[in-house]
């Protein structure tokens, strides 16, 4: 039996920061996936999870500084997959790494990653994922223990493993992301990556050489102390999911816990930063 989703088409003006706030709020009320476009946002929720008045209490919808309107329609699971096939295009990062869906033809690159995106984040198309992939390509992962926190599709953990990482874990609070990560781990012959569903509370007593966390500003600020506690001496923390104007706040919090800012990448005002201890 096919799952039936509701597709909400949000028109947003101005786009930022309203789009990011809306995604965060929609995620809290049950929406599972989001596709940004030039007018705003497509958001998807299982019809069985929808209830009357679901959007009434959203802060961003009531904010007079933004104009947000929407329409909705039913979309069957098989139609969702067709939409991905029409709209999901392969990407190549610094001519070394290709991220593609199973229906895309492979090309000659050093790292070929096949991701079945389904309804998870992390296809590489968003600026933050793209930059985190670039960080992985630019740094030494050989034999290092790695954590991919907020793993989405698991693409960062998969590239880290292909770059020679040792013990690697991938964690996401969302069940769909957790299951999708497990599938993509198998699809890319990285079965020794351990995937878990949960939040930073799972990190107690764990230690890693490298932590990758592509989440959002507020969660990063809250969890930086946990990441630092899990980082081995001489370790590296890569953070993304926030804007350039948030970099000072992120760096200040990292600095307060003994981490030193080393560098950052920037793409369309999004940032992916590197910190070391």
Other residues' Cβ atoms within 10 Å of the Cβ of residue 38: 5
Known binding residue 129? Answer is yes
Known binding residue 172? Answer is yes
Rounded to a whole number of angstroms, the CA Rg of the chain reads 19
| In contact, 35 and 41? CB cutoff 8 Å | yes
45, two tokens:
């929720």
Give me the phi and psi of 62, to 5 degrees please.
-90, -5
Known binding residue 139? Answer is no
Alpha helices in 3-110 (DSSP H): 18-28, 59-62, 77-87
| Cα 247 to Cα 63, 88, 149, 159, 226, distances in angstroms | 25, 30, 19, 25, 19
Quick check: helix, strand or coil at residue 170?
strand
- Work out the angle between the directed axes of helices 247-256 and 217-230 (0-180°, nearest 10): 30
Q: How far apart, in whole angstroms, are the C-alpha atoms of residue 135 and residue 129?
A: 10
Annotated binding site for S-adenosyl-L-methionine: 129, 150, 172, 214
Annotated binding site: 129, 150, 172, 214
């Amino acid at each position: 039996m096919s799952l039936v989703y509701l597709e909400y088409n949000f028109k947003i003006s101005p786009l930022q920061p309203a789009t990011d706030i809306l995604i965060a709020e929609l995620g809290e009320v049950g929406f599972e996936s989001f596709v940004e476009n030039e007018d705003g946002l497509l958001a998807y929720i299982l019809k069985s999870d929808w209830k009357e008045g679901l959007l009434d209490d959203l802060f961003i919808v009531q904010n007079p500084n933004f104009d947000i309107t929407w329409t909705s329609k039913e979309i069957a699971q098989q139609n969702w997959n067709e939409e991905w096939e029409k709209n999901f295009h392969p990407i190549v990062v610094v001519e070394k790494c290709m991220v593609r869906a199973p229906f895309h033809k492979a090309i000659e690159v050093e790292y070929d990653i096949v991701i079945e995106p389904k309804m998870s984040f992390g296809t590489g198309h968003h600026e933050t994922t793209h930059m985190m992939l670039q960080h992985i390509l630019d740094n030494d992962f050989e034999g290092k223990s790695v954590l991919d926190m907020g793993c989405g599709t698991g693409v960062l953990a998969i590239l880290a493993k292909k770059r020679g990482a040792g013990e690697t874990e991938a964690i996401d609070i969302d069940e769909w992301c957790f299951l999708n990560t497990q599938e993509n781990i198998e699809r890319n012959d990285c079965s020794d990556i351990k995937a878990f569903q949960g939040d930073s509370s799972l990190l107690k007593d764990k230690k890693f050489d490298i932590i990758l966390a592509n989440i959002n500003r507020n969660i990063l600020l809250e969890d930086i102390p946990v990441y630092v506690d899990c980082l081995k001496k001489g370790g590296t923390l890569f953070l993304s999911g926030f804007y350039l104007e948030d970099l000072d706040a992120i760096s200040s919090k990292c600095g307060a816990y003994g981490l030193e800012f080393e560098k950052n990448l920037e793409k369309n005002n999004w940032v992916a930063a590197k910190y070391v201890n």
